[in-house]
A and B are shown apart, each in its own frame.
Chain A
């Protein structure tokens, strides 16, 4: 191995001396060609190792292609032609090779389901590896060519043959180990940014990490993790970056917006009115929970009896109820489902004085007091991620409308907007082809004066 490396270095040095003053632009082209050769030479063996190529059903394929096309339309490198291959493996994994070869397994696709933001996050991460040349640099580093990386590529292109084979073998080895800790962090950041540029929600990267961590701890290990840095660190960095995708707060001058804002939060309808019309909330502010009148059963029930509820508001779609609860450290927000069971407790540093729902019902704006200044935080439910949207400005109150999140600073309303999310739309869709599902009929058995329904027996075709 050492002899090989020495021979290789000598070869490259000779070629570099011979080629001398090659133009930098042609060096870049040659480097891209070398990457492509390296990637295309390695891809077939990897595809085979992962059970071959999997062709997803039409609808899923069109969706995948659209997400991928939107991402690759935003890349910086013009010398790379990106291709996406789905691998027929149940293992949840994704990786990329120099030259623009991006791979995702069927297992990871199943895990992601229909979440566009999460798919964009994983593909963005893999594209970022190619954009930043993590693969080719790791190979050259492994081969002891760190310093000669760029110039070496120039020479390598002319040597090809044995050298490319050797580099390919090294690539497979390096791929098993990962491109390196810093490369992974960089791919996370670049991938998240790429997703935003392509119109996907950057929260997808955090959601994906959480989902993978859940699977990793409960079921079979996820290979995607074995070569990556600590999940908590990656999550923390991604969460910190979220704030950078929100727009800078600007003073609101539009009188119509100001009129609406001055009417106060939830001006269109009280957050206490159940959008689905079943429950009526009665807030006392006293310990002993939240008294709720259930219109359907015509009775009063008490939810979260252990808490003292200061404020309550239904999500716009009525699927969740947010409660401002008196806790030891001050106000805290709890989220319950429609039956009053707490599904999430939002933990922020400081006392939550008030809150309001985002129009899509997936996040909340929290007015937080201390430590330090009063500020407004956007809290993403599910992912439990927080963004300080007031950007250091003292904020006295907030209101989240369709066109952005507003907060009051020194008597003036400021507006800030979350990153724009554009839902995937397929220009040339194809109708679904359905088949009848087997209908399972339960059996009715009479037992004395009662009837019992048996579980239908499922017979596999």
Chain B
């Protein structure tokens, strides 16, 4: 489903990512783990097309997105990706339902029913008309998940999706991811939470911008 080949990202003289190569198949949950500054968020930003790599290739669903321009990346995100951020990144003046429909607006046509369905899937059908300021952290993250899945993407990228959540909400979010996996979606999530990482099919550990370890549940690989 997704693969990277010798992916590098430099910020001036700082090598944030150094020759990252991996692949993950369809319908898998993969976690990217590592200490602060290891390049986890940088890697996921590159996969999402939110940033430009210095060198290397990224391929998603057989499409090489490395050389896409900003509009092409935006279109690709629309069609194939759903992104969940640690800080939720909801639009403050739009309700939960509006935030989900916003993703639909950019994709094609907003569909209130579909958006409500996405909210109900994450257990927030009764909070549709609430503003982000009126929601808890867990609820905001679930709205972000609903927004990410409403356009039925093949690949979901989540950067520290449970970073600001308590245990109960964390469990709730992982349950949702497992349901999405059953539907055939591929999920890559960045986390520093070991217990979360252990629940994933594959775990890549980064250290100083390099792959330190790539563990597949069926097969152990140590680099």
- Determine if chain A interacts with chain B: no
